Amino acid sequence: MVPRKVGTAWEITAPAKLNLYLEVLGKRTDGFHELETLLVPVRIYDQLSWSPVATGCSLTVLQQNSTPNSLSAFDQNDNLVLRAAQLVAAKIGIQAHGRFQLVKRIPTEAGLGGGSSDAAATLLLANQAWQAGLTSPELAELAAELGSDVPYFLNTGPAVCRGRGERVESLGGLPKLHFVVVKPAFGLSTPRVFAELGEQELPSAARAEKSATQMQKLIAALNRGAIGAACAWMTNRLEAAAARLAPEILPIKTALAQAGCWGQLMTGSGSTLVGIARSATQARRIARQLSAQNLGTVLATSSGW
């Protein structure tokens, strides 16, 4: 993400992400879970802008409605955008100021990382607009305070994330991937999905070692362009727990398979399901087919920033 200056204002696009692999390696002493995950950005975006005002700091959120190109305004004072802006301001010893506007197109409670991406975008935008001069490590420290996925969005492209998600290892050389994304009408709370994990679903040391091997095989298959083979290594430890909370997830996964997707899995803590397509053309065709089945919001997209 790179902020752009437009007159006296600044703007930035904040992409969604997909988890092509997600393993839970155990419960940490701080109450969070130790994760190992492969994230890729996709071409579904929120749009954030900042403009100067005489006094105060405000946020307007425009929410994408179900009607194409329709937006509605609503107040969201606890949005991560304002929290991120306040962190930057406190770090450099000023008052947060200006008018932020967020056009929200990434669905919420979907496992697509929209809130985390918005927070990272705010850190970058405020750093430029306020001439804060914060370094990448300083921004990463603030990002870790805001949420597990936020540090990932400060980087560009696919990455393996570990710990809570704050340890980011960028990857290069992965091919462009094509996806069908199905967001059901319902969302899922991340804390609730993690709470649903049973003790038997938390890997032992041996299973953690197996996870590292599986991740390596997935990345190797992607690097050589063997997308079909790579799908065999894609998995999400949270999927079974999410399906116990929302059984509707499993029929959507089946529909993606029956429509011809190479692989199918849930992203993040849900509720979005993802199908891996052979091409952009196939992704668009499957998206049109599934849109007629009233499964929720269906989109064809691809990896990229």
Active-site residue, from 104, 118, 149, 183: 149
d(CA 194, CA 269): 8
Active-site residue, from 17, 104, 183, 253: 17
Name residues whose C-beta falls within 8 Å of residue 56's C-beta, 6 or more positions apart in sequence.
97
User: Is residue 148 left, alpha or beta, with left meaning phi > 0 and alpha meaning psi from -120 to 50?
Assistant: alpha
Report which secondary-structure segment, H or E, holds 193. Answer: helix 190-196
17 is annotated as an active-site residue: yes
d(CA 51, CA 125): 11
Q: Tokens 């004072």 appear where?
A: 77
CB 163 within 8 A of CB 256: no
Closest alpha carbon to 123 in 169, 165, 171, 90? 90
> For the chain, where are the E strands, in sequence order?
4-6, 9-27, 33-51, 57-64, 71-74, 98-104, 159-163, 167-170, 178-183, 235-236, 263-266, 273-277, 297-302
User: Is beta strand 159-163 parallel, antiparallel or unpaired with respect to 71-74?
Assistant: unpaired
For residue 63, the number of C-alpha atoms closer than 13 Å in the C-beta half-sphere is: 11
210 is annotated as an active-site residue: no
d(CA 244, CA 99): 42
Which residue numbers are catalytic?
Answer: 17, 149
